[in-house]
Amino acid sequence: MFHNVYVFLFAICFPALSQFLSKSGIYEFWNWFDDRTWYPLGRVIGGTVYPGLTLTAGTIWWLLNSLNIPLSVETVCVFTAPIFSANASWATYLLTKEAKGHGAGLMAATILAMVPSYISRSVAGSYDNEAVAIFALIFTFYLYVKTLNTGSLFYATLNALSYFYMVCSWGGYTFIINLIPMHVLLCIVTGRYSSRLYVAYAPLVVLGTLLAALVPVVGFNAVLTSEHFASFLVFIILHVVALVYYIKGLLTPRLFKVAMTFVLTVGLALCLAVVAILAALVASSPTKGWSGRSLSLLDPTYASKYIPIIASVSEHQPPTWPSYFMAINVLAFLVPAGIISCFLPLSDASSFSVLYLVTSVYFSGVMVRLMLVLAPAVCILSGIALSEAFNVLTRSMKFQRPISDDTLPTAGDSTPGSSSTATITTSTKNANIKKEKMGTISKERSSKKSRKETELVGSSPVRPEKEEKLCVLPSEASAMGILFLIMLCGLYVIHCVWAAAEAYSAPSIVLTSRSHDGLHVYDDFRESYAWLRHNTEVDDKVASWWDYGYQTTAMANRTVIVDNNTWNNTHIATVGTAMSSPEKGAWEIFNSLDVKYVLVVFGGLIGYPSDDINKFLWMVRIGGGEFPHIKEQDYLRDGNYRVDAQGTPTMLNCLMYKLCYYRFAETDGKGFDRARRYEIGRKHFKLTHFEEVFTTQHWMVRIYKLKPQKNRVRGKLKLKLKSSSKTSLMRKGAGKKNPWQ
């Protein structure tokens, strides 16, 4: 019913960070302690967020205001992603140009500008880390390949700085620091080592690691976590190989064998020592030094087993085949042709493009979010394939000559003014002219072909025509091929326009749906946040699942318990435990956190599938990971998650069920849940510790207030006073004589 629109929660929170940065400066931002989130813990912003996006928007705002262009911070944040999408296309052109020339670069840049996978994070208003991180990723790869082709230390320094910008922008920088060492190792193994390779890699590891350690959210993880160890190991191997090549140029072959044995022995011992040290460092860690997201990439089942908070995010789920078709469309059919083109001939730049594609295909198959990393690789290979295909087809049409019978000599063509020698001479001239044109197609074979054709012309003037016909495609086939490629590109453009218009252009916080009676707009989120902003106190605390934390902070201006930063798993588990507990137990947990309002998202009335009921099992799993009394099996009936009459008593009595389905049966008399398509199990019940204070028009957001604690001491005191007064009266009456006796 609803469009599959990703909710850009960062697009609401990060403008607030950028606004704070523009007003207070970078030092205040770096040390900013935000007490309006993660109550009562708070959060140190500088140490828990990647600052690249915020610093980029703040810098753009400062430059524009320095030029007397008075734009607000929010306006700059809205247009940051489109600006950097143009930069990403430019970086794609540069990277592809280094591999296969200007034509392939222009084609790849054009494809990237329209690919739906990247549009999802580059439309206006999409203010997320990937808005600038994808540009930094591609530009870092370009500078690495440029350094590899030129051996320039200038480009190597820029490469380290670009890598530093990527580290500041997104945690996906670990993809760079592992892919480049893989390519360096591939070049060494295949015998393609050169001084240019050393210049391209060594400064990146040294300078890039030092700069990465300056980012507070990364810090010493740049040298202590397993994601970075591969780069250090390849760094040592590169120096051993460089030393071997250096010694080879100084010594005789006999002495070189002796020296090589010594160098390899020492190098192998050094590598083993480094491996032993690294193994000792990671042995004490239960995850062997890997982060949870990295382990989820290496083992797709790891998150679901041990880190449910990572597995609960929809973007961290494996994609389906329709997801690939939606993200890259016909480019999937062009990629194999691009891979073949990269091997004809194979260079360092083209081998890097193939390696980039292979690794990104694997990672995108593990997490749908990493389609963003796959998109540039697919565009590069598709651009190369289209460029080579158009090049071959257009050259075939350019150099194709129709063979007519008038140009061929026959026995009856000899006249007094001509001879067979003149005919042979004429055909030889024609062959030489065509040989010069064909030389532009293949310069390496032109000299051999010219000698062979010269020998064959004297014996048979028809042979050069046949050989030329074998070098090019027929004009009809070339025309049909060009027409087919144009139609393929047209279909790709149509799909990209449709995807951008239908899936990524609507405001993410305002939901839309289409039915037989037209377009429906659901503005319940803003309605609920406006109510909180105008009907609650400034210091009131609001509890909800972490998905809505950023929105509540930014749009309702209220303190939240958890938000989308997800830096503290225990605090999130506490909220999940409260939602999974009976009403009284949940009230006690929320009351201990000083919570005054609880917000839940419910889609049963209008059929919205991404509500809290469908997310509830993840709350149970995350809560059960920290609090063992919460067990998932208590909420399942024969292994199935149900909220109808077959639901378990634990499920039908938990707080989440009650807050979502309270008074729901009154809407239609049956309590039919349109999102899950069945009638609910428990319809008529009352709330004893919570009271409903607001429900939006379409019941999508429901807000409840915690009832105050009953004054039990006062009630006991009244009972005690009443009983004591009654006893005293009886004693007084016992001393008096009844006058009626």
Closest CA to 112 of 453, 444, 377: 377
The yes-or-no verdict on residue 306 having pLDDT over 60 is yes
pLDDT for the residue 292:
67
Give tens-digit pLDDT for 121-158.
888 888 888 889 999 999 999 999 999 999 999 999 99
Within-domain flag for 84: no
Length of the chain, please? 741
Gap between the Cα atoms of 392 and 402, Å rounded: 18
Gap between the Cα atoms of 128 and 122, Å rounded: 9
- Report DSSP state, residue 25: -
Asked whether the bond before 203 is cis by omega within 30 degrees of 0, the reply is no
Within-domain flag for 258: no
Within-domain flag for 625: yes
**pTM of the predicted model as reported, rounded to 2 decimal places:** 0.81
Query: Considering its fold, how many domains does the chain have in total?
Result: 1
Within-domain flag for 556: yes
More confident residue, 247 or 700: 700
Gap between the Cα atoms of 501 and 228, Å rounded: 40
Residue 237 identity (one-letter amino acid): I
With a CB cutoff of 8 Å and minimum separation 6, the contacts of 384 are: 96, 99, 100, 104, 107, 108, 338, 341, 342, 353
Confidence of residue 531 (pLDDT cuts 50, 70, 90): very high
- Between 164-168, 307-311, 493-497, the lowest mean confidence (pLDDT) is in 307-311
With a CB cutoff of 8 Å and minimum separation 6, the contacts of 271 are: 233, 236, 237, 240
Within-domain flag for 632: yes
pLDDT for the residue 304:
73
The yes-or-no verdict on residue 337 having pLDDT over 50 is yes
The pairing of strands 640-641 and 636-637 is: antiparallel
Within-domain flag for 294: no
Beta bridge pairs of residue 511 = 522
Query: Which of 23-32, 86-95, 421-430, 636-645 has the highest average model confidence (pLDDT)?
Result: 86-95
**Token pair of 244 as six digits:** 């071997």
The yes-or-no verdict on residue 450 having pLDDT over 50 is no
The yes-or-no verdict on residue 248 having pLDDT over 70 is yes
Closest CA to 548 of 603, 621, 598: 598
The yes-or-no verdict on residue 578 having pLDDT over 50 is yes
Residue 669 identity (one-letter amino acid): G
pLDDT for the residue 536:
94
- Between 12-26, 71-85, 251-265, 506-520, the lowest mean confidence (pLDDT) is in 12-26
Within-domain flag for 490: no
Gap between the Cα atoms of 125 and 123, Å rounded: 6
Phi, psi of 695 (to 5 degrees): -135, 130
The yes-or-no verdict on residue 710 having pLDDT over 50 is yes
Within-domain flag for 441: no
Which structural domain range is residue 616 located in? Answer: 520-706
| 3-class secondary-structure state, position 34 | strand
The yes-or-no verdict on residue 622 having pLDDT over 90 is yes
Q: What number of other Cβ atoms are within 10 A of residue 483's Cβ?
A: 11
Structure-token match 């990672």, residue found: 363
Report H helices in 39-172.
45-48, 52-66, 73-100, 102-112, 116-119, 130-150, 153-169
With a CB cutoff of 8 Å and minimum separation 6, the contacts of 437 are: 399
Percentage of the residues of the chain whose pLDDT score is greater than 70: 82
Give tens-digit pLDDT for 182-198.
999 999 999 899 999 99
The yes-or-no verdict on residue 681 having pLDDT over 70 is yes
The yes-or-no verdict on residue 269 having pLDDT over 90 is no
pLDDT for the residue 413:
45
Distances (CA, A) of 324 to 1, 333, 488: 21, 11, 17
Q: Kind and range of the H or E element at 515?
A: strand 511-515
- Between 65-79, 101-115, 703-717, the lowest mean confidence (pLDDT) is in 703-717
pLDDT for the residue 379:
95
- CATH number (domain holding residue 691): 3.40.50.12610
Gap between the Cα atoms of 730 and 741, Å rounded: 18
Confidence of residue 289 (pLDDT cuts 50, 70, 90): low
Q: Hey, CA dihedral for 686, 688, 694, 698, is it positive or negative?
A: negative
* Tally of helices (H runs) and strands (E runs) in the chain: 34, 13
pLDDT for the residue 128:
85
